[in-house]
Amino acid sequence: MAVLRLNGVIATGSRFRSGINLAGLSSDLDRAYKLRNLKAVALTINSPGGSPVQSALIATRIRTLADKKGIPVFAFAEDVAASGGYWLACSADEIFADQNSIIGSIGVIYASFGFQGLLKWLGVERRTYTRGDDKLMLDPFLEEDPGDVSRLQALQTDVHDSFMTYVRERRGVKLKGDDSQLFNGQVWTGKKAVELGLIDGVGDLHSVLRQRYGDGVKLQVINRRRGWFNRGLALPVNNPNGTWIEDLIMAVETREYWRRFGL
């Protein structure tokens, strides 16, 4: 059995050790499916979500390899498989979690800051030149524009529709709740997620796979597990082109992803 650990915030080209993206996982996925006598691939997931694009790309890659090789995929949620983390879980044929795992958050969120008063307080004049009326949409140094918010919400609706479509395709008739309940961004414990059909059962990696394939099952971990220290603080690894304040903001944002789920 190949074991892939998907731990951290899902982000494109992440500068953080805990980031998950297709570029970082591609070689690990290839290695997993090239193991001799491979019977199944197991995903251990501990992610509060992140980029919907990277979530979709990784899930598609997993399904492409699984279908090509005819290899079943099992997902095992640990502390949390929420938002994009749940999107990744849905790439598996079966999903399991601890009864206390946090599952769901099938929704879309955008968070930013408003610094419109900061520059004035600092006595700094900002100069920005654009071609295109909407190039400054949701600029954090300007007052919030209701038109910008409406355009953002339209984008979020499209992404949310894609997320819901994928969950319906992968979970199908297993889903037990109404759309208004399942797809409103709410989260549940693993125990409740079973009742709603979001996962297939309560169980951990070793017990489930031994039950399916016998006590002699061999687990081959493909990538290293990320430690709590790096995951929790999301420390920048190398940012030669950035600034300390950019690193700090991204670290705070990453920490906020985990904090929403009490982690």
Enumerate helices (H) and strands (E) in the chain, giving the number of each: 10, 8
pLDDT at site 151: 79
Query: What is the residue-level pLDDT of the chain in tens, covering all 263 positions?
Result: 999 999 999 988 644 455 799 999 999 999 999 999 999 999 999 999 999 999 999 999 999 999 999 999 999 999 999 999 999 999 999 999 999 999 999 988 776 677 777 767 877 777 777 777 777 776 777 777 787 778 777 888 899 999 999 999 999 999 998 899 999 999 999 999 999 999 999 999 999 999 999 998 999 999 754 444 444 444 444 444 455 555 555 666 666 666 666 55
| C-alpha to C-alpha distance for 177 and 106, rounded to whole angstroms | 13
pLDDT at site 237: 44
pLDDT at site 225: 47
The answer to whether position 134 is within a domain reads no
Q: Which two tokens stand for residue 124?
A: 């700094």
Domain count, the chain: 1
The answer to whether position 126 is within a domain reads no
The answer to whether position 40 is within a domain reads yes
The beta-strand segments (E) located in 115-250 are: 187-189, 201-202, 220-221
| C-alpha to C-alpha distance for 56 and 195, rounded to whole angstroms | 25
The answer to whether position 85 is within a domain reads yes
Q: Are 3 and 218 in contact (CB under 8 A)?
A: no
Q: What is the CATH number of the domain that holds 102?
A: 3.90.226.10
pTM for the full predicted model: 0.79
| C-alpha to C-alpha distance for 9 and 20, rounded to whole angstroms | 6
In terms of residue numbers, what domain contains 59? 2-106+172-259
The answer to whether position 14 is within a domain reads yes
Q: Which two tokens stand for residue 2?
A: 């190949």
The answer to whether position 89 is within a domain reads yes
